[in-house]
C-alpha cells in the first residue's frame, strides 16, 4: 500500500506478514518492499520433493538461532553427517528439514550434530520414510493442478493466488521498477505473497478464538492518523485506495483486522511494559508456535521454490540477542 504525498510517491518500507503494527504504525496487507531478502551467494539447492529415492526426511525443531550465521553453522554441521543428502534450515521457523539415507545415518545423529555445536538445542519434530514422502508427492502433484496451497484444511486455488500475485506485480511497476521483474525479484514477490497469506490465515484463526472487538471510532481514528501522516484529504485517500484495488470499506476492514491483532498481542503475547525492542522477538516466538500447530501444505512448484529460498536466505544479525558470529 502506498499513498501519494506532496506530488511524489511515499513508500512505507516495512516487511509485513499481516495487517499488523508493532510500533504504533499501521501497516497493510499487500505491502511488500523489494530487496527485503538478501540474495544468498550459493548454488541453487536441490529440490527435496524431486529427489526422494529411498531417503527419509526428518524435521528438527531448533532453538537458539538468531541470524544467518547460525543457519550456515547448522547447515554445515548437518551436511557433514554421513548419509545426509540435502538440508534446509529456516531461521524464521526455527527448524531444519533434512533428507537422509536411513541405512547410513539416523535422526538421532542429526540431532546430536546440532547439539554438539553448543549454542543450539535440536529436537526431532517428526520423521517420514520414503513411502510416505512419495505418497505426499503424488498427492501434491495432483492437487497442484487446481490449488496453490492449503492452510489448516482451507485450500487456496491457483486462480485466487494468481489474483493476489498479479496485484503485487502491478505494484512492482508502480514503485518505479522495471515492468518485468527479474526471476529473483519475482521469486521474492511470490514468497512474500505466500508467507503473507499463510501468516494471516494462521493468525486470524488464532485471534478468532478470543473476543476482541474494534469500534468504528477506533478505525476512524487510525484513518485520521494515516491522513495526517501522509497529508491526504478524503478525495486523495480514495484515489490511492482505488489504485490499489480497494474501496474505503475494504480499507476499514483491513484496519479492523490490524487493530484486533494488536489488541491480542498486547493482551496475550506482550507482558505489561514490554519495551518495543523486545516485541519483535516475542512476536517471532508466538508466530513460530502457531506454525508448529498449523497444517500448511504448498502444492505449487513455483511457490515451494520461492518459499524455500526465502526461508533459507541469510538474514542480518541481531534479533534481541547477540550475533553468534561474534561469539567465536
Identify the CA nearest to 259 among candidates 16, 71, 68, 20. Answer: 20
116-148: per-residue pLDDT in tens?
A: 999 999 999 999 999 999 999 999 999 999 999
The percentage of residues in the chain with a pLDDT greater than 90, rounded to a whole number, is 55
Strand partners, 124: 60
Range of the domain at 82: 48-140
Is residue 182 over pLDDT 60?
yes
64-89: per-residue pLDDT in tens?
A: 998 889 999 999 999 999 999 999 99
Q: Decide which of 140, 156, 187 is a domain's last residue.
A: 140
Residues 289 and 267 in one domain: yes
Residues 119 and 244 in one domain: no
- Position 321 in a domain: no
Residues 52 and 12 in one domain: no
Strand partners, 4: 9
Residues 306 and 195 in one domain: yes
**Which residue in the block uniquely carries the three cell numbers 534481541?**
320
Q: How many CA atoms lie within 13 A of 281 on its CB side?
A: 16
270-309: per-residue pLDDT in tens?
A: 999 999 999 988 988 898 888 888 899 999 999 998 988 7
Q: Decide which of 140, 160, 189 is a domain's last residue.
A: 140
Is residue 113 over pLDDT 90?
yes
Q: Decide which of 102, 119, 140 is a domain's last residue.
A: 140
Q: What is the pLDDT of residue 43?
A: 37
Cell (9 digits) for 309: 529460498
Rg (CA), the chain: 21
Q: State the total domains in the chain.
A: 2
Residues 134 and 225 in one domain: no
Is residue 53 over pLDDT 50?
yes
Cell (9 digits) for 185: 525479484
Angle at 117 between CA 116 and CA 118, to 5 degrees: 85
143-152: per-residue pLDDT in tens?
A: 999 999 999 9
Residues 127 and 205 in one domain: no
Amino acid at each position: 500500500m502506498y499513498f501519494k504525498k506532496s506530488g511524489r510517491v511515499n513508500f512505507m518500507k516495512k516487511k509485513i506478514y499481516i495487517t499488523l503494527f508493532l510500533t504504533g504504525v499501521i501497516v497493510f496487507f499487500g505491502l511488500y518492499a523489494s530487496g527485503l531478502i538478501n540474495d544468498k551467494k550459493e548454488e541453487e539447492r536441490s529440490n527435496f520433493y524431486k529427489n526422494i529415492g529411498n531417503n527419509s526426511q526428518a524435521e528438527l525443531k531448533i532453538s537458539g538461532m538468531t541470524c544467518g550465521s547460525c543457519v550456515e553453522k547448522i547447515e554445515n554441521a548437518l551436511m557433514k553427517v554421513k548419509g545426509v543428502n540435502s538440508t534446509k534450515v529456516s531461521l524464521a521457523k526455527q527448524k531444519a528439514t533434512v533428507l537422509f539415507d536411513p541405512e547410513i545415518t539416523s535422526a538421532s545423529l542429526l540431532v546430536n550434530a546440532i547439539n554438539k555445536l553448543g549454542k543450539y538445542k535440536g529436537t526431532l519434530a517428526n520423521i517420514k520414510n520414503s513411502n510416505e514422502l512419495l505418497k505426499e508427492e503424488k498427492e501434491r502433484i495432483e492437487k497442484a493442478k487446481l490449488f496453490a496451497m492449503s492452510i489448516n484444511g482451507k485450500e487456496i486455488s491457483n486462480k485466487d493466488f494468481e489474483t493476489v500475485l498479479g496485484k503485487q506485480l502491478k505494484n512492482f511497476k508502480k514503485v518505479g521498477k522495471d515492468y518485468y521483474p527479474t526471476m529473483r525479484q519475482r521469486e521474492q514477490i511470490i514468497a512474500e505473497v505466500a508467507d503473507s497469506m499463510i501468516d494471516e490465515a494462521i493468525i486470524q484463526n488464532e485471534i478468532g478464538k478470543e473476543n476482541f472487538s474494534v469500534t468504528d471510532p477506533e478505525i476512524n481514528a487510525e484513518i485520521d492518523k494515516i491522513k495526517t501522516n501522509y497529508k491526504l484529504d478524503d478525495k486523495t485517500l480514495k484515489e490511492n485506495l482505488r489504485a490499489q484495488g480497494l474501496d474505503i470499506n475494504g480499507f476499514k476492514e483491513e484496519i479492523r483486522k490490524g487493530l484486533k491483532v494488536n489488541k491480542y498481542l498486547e493482551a496475550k503475547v506482550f507482558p505489561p511494559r514490554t519495551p518495543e525492542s523486545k516485541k519483535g522477538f516475542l512476536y517471532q516466538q508466538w508466530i513460530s508456535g502457531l506454525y508448529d500447530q498449523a497444517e500448511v501444505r504448498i502444492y505449487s512448484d513455483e511457490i515451494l521454490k520461492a518459499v524455500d529460498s526465502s526461508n533459507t536466505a541469510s538474514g542480518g544479525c541481531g534479533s534481541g540477542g547477540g550475533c553468534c558470529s561474534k561469539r567465536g
